[in-house]
Amino acid sequence: MRIGKYESSDGTTGTAISFLLIGLGVGAALGLLLAPKTGRQLRKDLRRSYDDALETASDWAEEAKDRLDDVVEKSGDFADGVRAKAKPLGDLLRRP
In this structure, are 44 and 81 located in the same domain?
yes
Q: Dihedral of the CA atoms 9, 13, 14, 18 (nearest 10)?
A: 120
Range of the domain at 15: 1-35
pTM: 0.46
The answer to whether residues 1 and 7 touch, using CB atoms and an 8 Å cutoff, is yes
In this structure, are 50 and 87 located in the same domain?
yes
Helices 39-94 and 12-34 cross at an angle (nearest 10°) of 160
What string of pLDDT tens digits covers the 96 residues of the chain? 555 565 555 557 777 788 888 999 898 888 877 877 777 887 888 899 889 989 999 999 999 999 999 999 999 999 999 888 888 888 888 876
In this structure, are 48 and 68 located in the same domain?
yes
Specify the amino acid at residue 13: T
